[in-house]
Amino acid sequence: MRALGAQLNALLSASRALTVDAATAFHPDLPPAAFHIAHWLHSFGAAKASQVAEAVAMDRSATSRLTARLIEIGLVEARPDPADGRGVVLDLTNFGRKSIDRANARKSDVFHQKIETWSNADLELFAALLRRFNELPPRG
């Protein structure tokens, strides 16, 4: 169990470092939390700021500050909510999408370097074990 814990900690630490590196590739003058917001918009599409804040587990004031900076730089746009003209919907600009794609490519390169020598059988086993690990335990 101790060895498993050590490897999970190493994985989480490496993942965090890789995300920070990708955030820098996204935009060097923004904190990683801004990348987290933009990445969520890239994955799930346009949304109200309150939805984004909840989805990325940030308080609304922090989300608002980071979003304002993303808009200022031209990575995100705010437009009126078609369902409620008083509200605002956030979405990535084309520049924002290209920046996310560049950052994700950087993450993918590192990932592929780690597994490029693995056999298909190793990859299948690793995926199966991770899937099993990530499944919710039965409630009871």
- The answer to whether the CB of 75 falls within 8 A of the CB of 92 is yes
At 73-132, the pLDDT tens digits run 999 999 988 888 778 899 999 999 999 999 999 999 999 999 999 999 999 999 999 999
Model confidence at 36, in pLDDT bands (50, 70, 90)? very high
Instruction: Please report the pLDDT score of residue 140 as a whole number.
Output: 66
* Angstrom distance (rounded) from CA 45 to CA 111: 25
- The answer to whether the CB of 37 falls within 8 A of the CB of 66 is yes
State both tokens at 111. 């990932």
Q: Where are the domains of the chain?
A: 2-134
Looking at CATH, the fold of the domain delimited by 2-134 is given as Arc Repressor Mutant, subunit A (1.10.10)
